[in-house]
């Protein structure tokens, strides 16, 4: 697809500054864009990148537009309310997604007794759909998927290759589960029984008899694992987005519209409010609650409840303002250590002088 700056601007009824007739062939990131690409810049933090960019056209905010003099416009500017959203729309025009295939239920898929499929659903070859499974409309189940007995899938569900759903898992509408994700595994529950006289024993498995409920509009990344509840359900709330390589243990209850980056790990019975965000490699101890709207920065270890709308980081995780003060102080430790040694030397010298001035008769 090729178009002009003017035609792109017309989609948003947007103001244009610069060459309206410039031909645009593609959409690219700001540091990769060339003379016939469009990119976006949404805030002053990207202005330095924009001034170095070779992009032919840029979606900019009204605030950024007002900061450019006419003789200093680096590219053709398309002034919109939300540059990021405009860019994502343009990207989809230049990079059309592959059309959804319509293959129906492949004869090379195994389908168990009592399983039902909604309208316009695709089941690819080499999938295994167990007995009494309910699959909604417009679903896509790709090769290598295993769906256990009595699972329920809503409408518009996508299970990418090699996804595994253990028995009794419930999946809502418009859920996307990426390759090699495993949902409904047994939780890590054991008790140490049969103590011998030496005080040692063996681990006995606690039966994991619950399930997993995934609400509408959830997306789960590749190689993520979600354990089933011990008695009730492990729950993933509506609209939550989970990255690759995330671990959600048994009995966790995740709120709505949470977002977890790669390698986040939740121990058993963690609960979260809505709009909670965890950056990469955050670890959360069992039975901890993360309050609505809170943010946990990367590589933090969380051992206690986090208040609503607070940002924490570090190990153990502390309020961001406290951690920044600690980090600032820690950076000064070598200097403080040198000063302390100098003070110790000075005190020793002063003490020695003072003692030399005191006669033996006046000493206590």
In the predicted model, what is the mean pLDDT of residues 272-280? 98
Q: What is the CATH number of domain 110-321?
A: 2.160.10.10
Angle between the N-to-C axes of helices 333-357 and 320-331, in degrees from 0 to 180, rounded to the nearest 10: 60
pLDDT of residue 83: 94
Strands 26-27 and 37-41: parallel
On the question of a cis peptide bond just before residue 316, with omega within 30 degrees of 0, the verdict is yes
Candidate from 8-22, 115-129, 217-231 with smallest mean pLDDT = 8-22
In the predicted model, what is the mean pLDDT of residues 286-314? 96
Q: Is 303 a catalytic residue?
A: no
The band of 235, judged by pLDDT with boundaries at 50, 70 and 90, is very high
Q: Is 164's pLDDT higher than 60? A: yes
| pLDDT tens column, 31-88 | 999 999 999 988 877 877 887 889 999 999 988 887 777 666 667 999 999 999 999 9
Say what percent of the chain tops pLDDT 90.
73
Q: Is 361's pLDDT higher than 80? A: no
CA–CA dist 141, 163 (Å, integer): 9
For domain 3-94, the CATH architecture is 3-Layer(aba) Sandwich (3.40)
Contacts of 61-66 with CB under 8 Å at 24 or more apart are 65/15, 65/17
DSSP H stretches of helix in the chain: 5-10, 47-52, 62-66, 83-94, 320-331, 333-357
Shared fold status for 3-94 and 110-321: no
Report the C-alpha dihedral over residues 229, 232, 234, 237, rounded to 10 degrees: 180
CA–CA dist 152, 170 (Å, integer): 5
What residue ranges do the domains of the chain occupy? 3-94, 110-321, 332-364
Q: Of 250, 287, 289, 303, which is the active-site residue?
A: 250
In the predicted model, what is the mean pLDDT of residues 201-228? 95
């Amino acid at each position: 697809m090729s178009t002009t700056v003017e035609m792109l601007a017309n989609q948003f009824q947007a103001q244009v500054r610069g060459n309206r007739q410039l031909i645009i062939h593609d959409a690219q990131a700001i540091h990769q864009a060339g003379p016939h690409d469009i990119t976006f810049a949404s805030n002053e933090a990207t202005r330095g990148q924009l001034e170095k960019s070779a992009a032919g056209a840029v979606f900019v905010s009204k605030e950024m537009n007002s900061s450019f003099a006419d003789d200093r416009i680096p590219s053709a500017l398309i002034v919109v309310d939300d540059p990021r959203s405009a860019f994502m729309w343009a990207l989809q025009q230049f990079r059309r997604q592959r059309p959804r295939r319509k293959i129906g239920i492949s004869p090379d898929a195994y389908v168990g007794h009592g399983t039902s499929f909604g309208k316009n659903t695709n089941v690819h070859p080499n999938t295994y759909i167990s007995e009494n499974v309910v699959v909604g409309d417009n679903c896509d189940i790709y090769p290598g998927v295993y769906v256990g007995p009595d699972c329920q899938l809503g409408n518009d569900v996508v299970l990418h290759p090699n996804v595994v759903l253990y028995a009794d898992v419930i999946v809502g509408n418009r859920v996307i589960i990426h390759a090699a994700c495993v949902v409904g595994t047994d939780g890590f529950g054991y008790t140490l029984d049969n103590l011998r006289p030496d005080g040692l024993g063996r681990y006995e498995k606690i039966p994991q008899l619950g399930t997993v409920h995934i609400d509408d509009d959830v997306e789960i990344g590749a190689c993520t694992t979600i354990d089933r509840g011990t008695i009730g359900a492990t729950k993933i709330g509506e609209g939550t987005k989970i990255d690759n390589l995330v671990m959600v243990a048994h009995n966790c209850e995740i709120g709505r519209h949470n977002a977890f980056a790669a390698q986040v790990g939740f121990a058993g019975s963690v609960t979260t409010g809505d709009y909670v965000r965890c950056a990469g490699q955050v670890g959360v101890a069992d039975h901890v609650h993360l309050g609505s709207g809170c943010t946990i920065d990367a590589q933090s270890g969380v051992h206690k409840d986090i208040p609503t709308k607070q940002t924490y980081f570090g190990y153990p995780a502390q309020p961001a303002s406290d951690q920044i003060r600690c980090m600032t102080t820690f950076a000064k430790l070598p200097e403080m250590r040198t000063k302390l040694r100098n003070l110790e030397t000075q005190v020793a010298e002063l003490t020695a002088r003072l003692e030399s001035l005191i006669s033996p008769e006046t000493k206590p």
